[in-house]
Amino acid sequence: MHVHCMTNPISSPVSEAYVRGADPELAALFGGPAADPEALRRRAERLERSGRERADAGRVAEALAAYNRRIGASGAALANIDRLKAGALAIVGGQQAGLFTGPVMVIHKALSVIRAAQWAERETGRPVVPLFWIAGEDHDWQEANHAYIVSNEKGLVRIAIERDEHPRTSVSRTKLGRERMEEAVRRLAESLPDSAHKPALLDRIEAAAARAETLSDWFGALMADLFAEDGLILMDADDPAIRALEAPMFRRMVAENERLASAFASAGEKLARLGYAAQAELHENGANLFLFRDERFGGIGPGAPAGERVMLFRDGGKFTDKRRTFSMDRGELERLALDAPELFSNNVLTRPIMQDYVLPVLATVLGPGEIAYWAQVGEAFRAFGMEMPVIVPRMSYTVTDGALRKLMDMFGLTLEDVGERLEERKQAWLARHDSLPVERMFAEAIRRFDELYDPLLAELAAADAGLGALGQRNRERIREQIRWLERKALESRNRRFEADVRRFDRLGDWLAPGGRPQERMLNLTAMWNAWGPEWLQALRAVPFDPLGGHYRVDL
């Protein structure tokens, strides 16, 4: 195995400037520089002093233990929950649940959480555990329900699991049914190329499915299996037992909602003054909270389904949804937060604050987009008398093997070529190796046609404006016919070079699927099927980088 440090292809101006320490004023929005060991030690001391300001550690541990046992967590994970109960601090990162764990960047984030916990324990001399927060409260089913793999015959294949017509409710509240889960596994088995690793891989996926009724639980069971040796704790944000512990913070977010909104808006204005765009859109009078419709608060208006997750808005002294199908005054909503916290959930801006209330978060592992979101949250932490945890950028990887590198060498391609200009390089290669220079011939034909036709059009237009307009349309028809013949000629050339076209496409499917970075598209099953568990062990062996970084791993 060889590891090469590369320029990270996935970034945003905010995260780039923050991680590199290029803008002290931007760093002030976060509370300090990224992955700062001294900040870790200060944060640890503050957490030890402020334990009473968070949810009860014993009850949090009980909820986590119950959930992790249900999804088949390892003894190492359960032991880490005991450490958390006894006062250990946590490194936290999270992601929405996805089919077969979704894009492989989820695995990269989990590894980053685990490695950051080990690093933080060394830096602080205190016990630190890794915890992965499953954003099961999210309701965008189309973001969660699919996985991409590479097949031999069809190239990039999307496998999705559908659900019944359903209100827009959370992923964790969507029951799948055994038949749909089995169908997803069957499609995966048909699409994955046969390999020595395939039978064991499918067995593990089916074993995780047997523990699950929802996509979130299936995700959790797979993650528990993959990271059993690492002691990774899993937490579903929509777990009713966790929701019960969040009630006081939900009540506070309702009671001080204007303060929250003002803090988010102020941070957005500061970002704009510094020349950065805000990542999270702020809705006018938005409460930055969601509510699940329920008859307990009269929140099922005409045509509104029970269980639907709706965004809350302030309306004078009351709260309502976007369509104003119900209305509750502040006191009623505060009481509901205490009596039925399972009806509430956070948005992208209030989730960090809730995370910090539930857990002793020493540091949080974030991807580039998340770092940009968190730039809008620092003032809200301070408005609530809290402190933003240390931010550790997640590590990311692009994995290759000997066959892929051989193809890159054959065509003289770098990884950047594949990621940024593969189609351009493919067409240039075909053109160089074709005795019939199709593009040049047809470009010359159009040039010469225009050269002959334009003077004629000018004379016709001078004689009769109507003839001039007709001639313009006629010219475009002729040009389109020439372009049509060019396309046919290119298709003929591609057929002659079909094997090479397939090789270019295979590079794209593995290293830049759909024109996007490997980690943003491909699912772990593609890699596990091709390279076995050694693939994950190779990622574990890459030296930890507290500032994230992107690494090419050659197996």
Q: Which tens digits make up the pLDDT trace of 451-466?
A: 888 888 888 888 888 8
pLDDT category at 427 given cuts 50, 70, 90 is: confident
Predicted TM-score (pTM) of the model is 0.89
Alpha-helical runs (H) found in 50-177: 57-70, 75-85, 105-124, 141-144
Residues 509 and 365 both lie in one domain: no
Own/partner pairs for 322-326, CB < 8 Å, 24+ apart? 325/299, 325/300, 325/301, 326/297, 326/298, 326/299, 326/300, 326/301
Q: State which residues form the domain around 132.
A: 9-281+346-398
pLDDT class of 313 with cuts at 50, 70, 90: very high
3-state SS of 252-283?
Answer: HHHHCHHHHHHHHHHHHHHHHHCCCCCCCCCC
Using DSSP, state whether 148 is helix, strand or coil. Answer: strand
Lowest average pLDDT, out of 135-149, 161-175, 336-350, goes to 161-175
Q: Is the pLDDT of residue 197 over 60?
A: yes
pLDDT at residue 9 greater than cutoff 70? no
- Whether residue 277 is found in the same domain as residue 415: no
- pLDDT for res 433: 78
Given a cut of 70, is residue 10 above it in pLDDT?
no
> Looking at the domain assignment, is residue 105 inside a domain?
yes
Q: Measure the CA–CA gap between 337 and 328, rounded to whole angstroms.
A: 12
Instruction: Using alpha carbons, list the distances in angstroms from residue 514 to 359, 400, 406.
Output: 38, 17, 21
Query: Where residue 134 falls among pLDDT bands split at 50, 70, 90?
Result: very high
Do 85 and 150 fall within a single domain? yes
How far does CA 189 lie from the centroid of its chain?
25
Residue 387 lies in a domain: yes
Contact 152, 194 (CB under 8 A): no
Residue 375 lies in a domain: yes
CA distances in angstroms from 109 to 145, 249, 331, 505, listed in the order given: 19, 27, 40, 28
Question: What secondary structure letter does DSSP report for 175?
Answer: B
Strand order in the sheet with 327-329: 327-329, 318-320, 309-315, 286-292, 344-346
CA angle, 301 as apex, 298 and 304 as ends, to 5°? Answer: 120
Distance CA 373, CA 364 (A): 13
Specify whether 140 is located in the same domain as 166: yes
In percent, the amount of the chain with pLDDT more than 90 equals 77
Q: Please tell me the total count of domains within the chain.
A: 2
Residues 147, 214: Cα–Cα separation, whole Å? 16
pLDDT score, position 8:
60
Do 525 and 98 meet the contact criterion of CB atoms below 8 Å apart? no
By the 10 Å C-beta count (0-12 exposed, 13-18 middle, 19+ buried), 451 is classed as exposed
pLDDT in tens, 23-69: 999 999 998 899 999 999 999 999 999 999 999 999 999 999 999 99
How many Cβ atoms are within 10 Å of 89's Cβ, its own excluded?
26
pLDDT at 466: 83
pLDDT of residue 12: 86
d(CA 282, CA 416): 36
Q: What is the mean pLDDT of the chain?
A: 93
CA dist 39 and 25 (Å) reads 17
Residue 381 near residue 356 (C-beta atoms within 8 A): yes
> For residue 314, is it within any domain?
no
Of the pLDDT bands very low, low, confident and very high (cuts 50, 70, 90), residue 499 is confident
Distance CA 10, CA 30 (A): 20
* Contact between 37 and 123 (Cβ < 8 Å): yes
Q: CB–CB of 158/146 below 8 Å?
A: yes
Q: Note whether residue 13 is domain-resident.
A: yes
Domain-located, residue 62? yes
Which residues pair with residue 4 across a beta bridge? 552
Distance CA 354, CA 356 (A): 5
Instruction: Judge if 66 and 201 occupy the same domain.
Output: yes
Same domain, 263 and 365: yes
- Give residue 134's identity as a one-letter amino acid code: I
Residue 522 in any domain: the answer is: yes
Cα gap 363→546, rounded to integer Å: 11
Residue 440, pLDDT > 90, answer no
- Structure confidence at residue 226 as a pLDDT band (50, 70, 90): very high
Backbone φ and ψ of 88, nearest 5°: -65, 155
Query: What gap in Å lies between CA 266 and CA 272, rounded to an integer?
Result: 10
Cα–chain-centroid distance for residue 216?
Answer: 15
Q: Tens of pLDDT along 366-392?
A: 999 999 999 999 999 999 999 999 999
Please say which residue of 359, 377, 398 terminates a domain.
398
The answer on pLDDT for 320 being more than 90 is yes
Provide CB contacts within 8 A for 214, sequence distance 6+. 136, 171, 172, 173, 174, 175, 176
Average pLDDT over residues 104-129: 98
Are residue 430 and residue 479 in the same domain, yes or no?
yes
Residues 6+ apart with CB under 8 A from 523: 99, 100, 101, 102, 103, 104, 147, 148, 149
The last residue of a domain, from among 398, 433, 465: 398
Q: Are residues 172 and 264 in the same domain?
A: yes
Considering the domain architecture, whether residues 367 and 503 belong to the same structural domain is answered as: no
Quote the pLDDT of residue 85: 97
Same domain, yes or no, for 378 and 425? no
Q: Judge contact between 102 and 171, C-beta under 8 A.
A: no
Residue 324 burial (10 A CB sphere; 0-12, 13-18, 19+): exposed
Residues 373 and 439 in one domain: no
- How far is it, in rounded angstroms, from Cα 418 to Cα 6? 14
Asked whether residue 22 falls in the same domain as residue 124, the answer is yes
* Per-residue tokens: 150: 């590479």
Residue 111, domain CATH:
3.40.50.620
Calculate ∠ Cα 245-247-249, nearest 5°. 100
pLDDT, tens digit, 9 for 90 and up, residues 291-305: 999 988 877 777 778
Of 405, 341, 389, 522, nearest to 91 (Cα)?
A: 389
Kindly state the helix (H) or strand (E) to which residue 396 belongs, with its residue range.
Answer: strand 396-400
Question: Is residue 75 a contact partner of residue 191, using CB atoms and an 8 Å limit?
Answer: no
Q: Is residue 336 part of a domain?
A: no
Tens of pLDDT, residue by residue over 231-288, are 999 999 999 999 999 999 999 999 999 999 999 999 999 999 999 998 888 999 999 9
- Angle in degrees, CA 490, 495, 501, rounded to 5: 90
